[in-house]
Amino acid sequence: MDVKKTNLSAYDETTVPQVGDLRIGIVVSEWNREITGKLLEGAINTLTKFGAKEGNLDIHWVPGSFELTAGAAMLIESTKPDAIICLGCVIQGETRHFEFICQAVGQGLTQLSIKTLVPVIFGVLTTDTFAQAIDRAGGAHGNKGEEAAITALKMGWLKRGLS
């Protein structure tokens, strides 16, 4: 597959359930807001396309991607959502900070999902460059926010079906 020409967010609409009465929490990083704002827009547009109303969504901002785990945990505790979408963007710099943040966020969100049995969706871009992030936030490769929204719908309904 030639990633340079591929919309990585393409999906089959017939496989995506309607929102119905699912409650979706969204936690968004303020860091790299030019990118995360586009991810949020993609997620909201996709959820709206599948029937979300204002009452279905609970959106909160946190300072950076590292804080996504704590923000998601607080939202799970306070609102009991069916799924949480975490949106962030970490871009490789000159130090190892990138590695530590990416690993901590990935492990933190995974552990939170396992501990609470609430699907916590990893919508965090981990790119080498700002240009790569733009390509994945509504650019040439689609919008990771859209992908996260679809995953939240599918996992939210799986959770409901198994409860």
- Which of the residues are catalytic? 97
Determine contact, residues 28/36, Cβ cutoff 8 Å: yes
> Which among 13, 38, 163, 22 is positioned nearest to 89, based on CA atoms?
38
Q: Which of 100, 91, 146, 95 is nearest to 121 (CA)?
A: 146
Tokens of 99: 């590695």
Helix (H) or strand (E) holding 83: strand 83-91
Residues 6+ apart with CB under 8 A from 89: 29, 31, 32, 35, 36, 39, 65, 124, 125, 127, 133, 137
Rounded Cα distance between 4 and 16, Å, is 26
